[in-house]
Amino acid sequence: MNRTNHTKTILTKLFLVLCIFVGYNSYANNKQDSEKNRPKDYQLIWEDNFDNDGYPDAQNWNFEYGFVRNRELQWYQPQNAYCKNGRLTIEGKRENIFNPNFNPLSDDWRTNRSSAKYTSACLITKDLQEWPPFGYFEISARINISNGAWPAIWLLGTEQSWPQCGEIDIMEFYRINNVPHLLANAAWGSELNYQAKWDDTKIPLQHFTKTDPDWADKFHTWSMHWDKKQISIYLDNELLNQVDLQQTINPDGGNPFTSDQKFYLLLNLAIGANGGDPTHTEFPIQFEVDYVKVYKETTN
C-alpha cells in the first residue's frame, strides 16, 4: 500500500471512530435529558418500543374506525399503522374510500359524506392498557408539519362522556390562523354539554425552529409528570404547560384528573380541520413514534 492510500485508510478509520463517539454521546445526552423530569422513586410499569415489525401489538393497541371527530377529512383504518425498525409509523394518505355508512338525508357529518379523500390511523390503548391518575409518561416521536397534518399524543378518561371524562393533550400540532403551533392542554367539563373548559398552551413552531432549523427532521421527547397537585407537560425538557388540578372541577363537583377512573392513550394523525388545508400537500405524510413509557410512583 502506498503512503497516500495508507494515510487515507487511517483518516477513514479515525472518521468512523469519531462518528461512533459523537453518536454515542448524542444518545447519552438525549437519554440524560429525557430523565431530568422523571421523578425519583418512579418505576416503569408499561412500555412499547415497537420492536416487532408488522402491525402494532394487539395486546396494547386498538383502533378507531371511519370518521370520528372534529369534521376531520381522514378515514381512520388500521392498515395505515405499522411497525418497522423499532418505530411505529402512522401514515396519512390521499386516497378515496367509500363511506359504508353514507346516508344523504342524514344531518350527521359522519354519515352524510359519501366518501373520504384521505386515510390515516388512530391507535388507542382503551380496554387494553389503562392507568389511574398520576404518574410519568414519556414519548419519543417525530411529527409531520405539512399543511393539513394534525398529529397528537393524548389521553382520555374512561368514565363519563367528553369532556367530563377529562382530556390531556401531551402533544398537538396544528395551525392557528395558518401559523403552525405546538399545544399542551387539559380539558374538563363545563355547564354546557360537549363544551369543555381548557387550560391550554399554544406555542408557535418558530419558537423551536429559530434555534434549530432542522427541528422537524428529528425525534423529540414529550413527557408529562402528573401528581395530585398539577399536570406538567414538557418538550425536550422545556416546560410547556402546568395545569393546576384545583381548578379542573366538573359541574358535578368531580375532578376527572384526581378521581379513581382510568385513562387510556391515543396516538393519531388527523388530516384537515385544525390541521389546515391538505390540498397542495405531498402525500403520504408520516407521524413516527420511537417509544412510549409509563411510570408510577413506587410504594414502600
pLDDT per residue as tens digits for the range 270-288? 999 999 999 999 999 999 9
Q: Which long-range contacts (CB under 8 A, 24 or more apart) does 230-233 make?
A: 231/168, 231/186, 231/257, 232/37, 233/168, 233/170, 233/184, 233/201
**Backbone CA torsion sign across 74, 168, 207, 123:** negative
**Contact in structure between 188 and 259 (CB atoms under 8 Å):** no
Q: What is the pTM for the complete model shown?
A: 0.89
pLDDT class for 33, splitting at 50, 70, 90?
A: low
For domain 42-297, is the CATH number 3.40.50.300? no
Across the range 205-218, mean pLDDT stands at 98
Q: Characterize the bridge pairing of strands 285-297 and 135-142.
A: antiparallel
The residue ranges of every structural domain in the chain are 1-35, 42-297
Around 32, how many Cα atoms within 13 Å sit in the side-chain half-sphere?
A: 6
Q: In this predicted structure, what is the pLDDT of residue 161?
A: 96
Cα 279 from Cα 110, distance rounded (Å): 21
Q: pLDDT tens digits for 108-132?
A: 999 999 999 999 999 999 999 999 9
- Cβ-based burial of 227 (10 A; exposed 0-12, middle 13-18, buried ≥19): middle
262, 46 Cβ separation under 8 angstroms? no
Tens of pLDDT, residue by residue over 170-189, are 999 999 999 999 999 999 99
Instruction: Tell me the percentage of the chain whose pLDDT exceeds 90.
Output: 85
- pLDDT of 25 > 70? The answer is no
Say what the pLDDT of residue 20 is.
Answer: 39
CA dihedral (284, 151, 134, 260) positive or negative = negative
What's the pLDDT score for residue 15?
45
Q: Which amino acid is present at 89?
A: T
Q: Determine what percent of the chain is predicted with pLDDT higher than 70.
A: 87
d(CA 204, CA 166): 25
C-alpha cell recorded at residue 255: 375532578
Under a CB-based contact definition with an 8 Å cutoff, are residues 109 and 142 in contact? no
**Which of the pair, 42 or 4, is modelled with greater confidence?**
42
Judged against a pLDDT cut of 50, whether residue 205 lies above it is answered with: yes
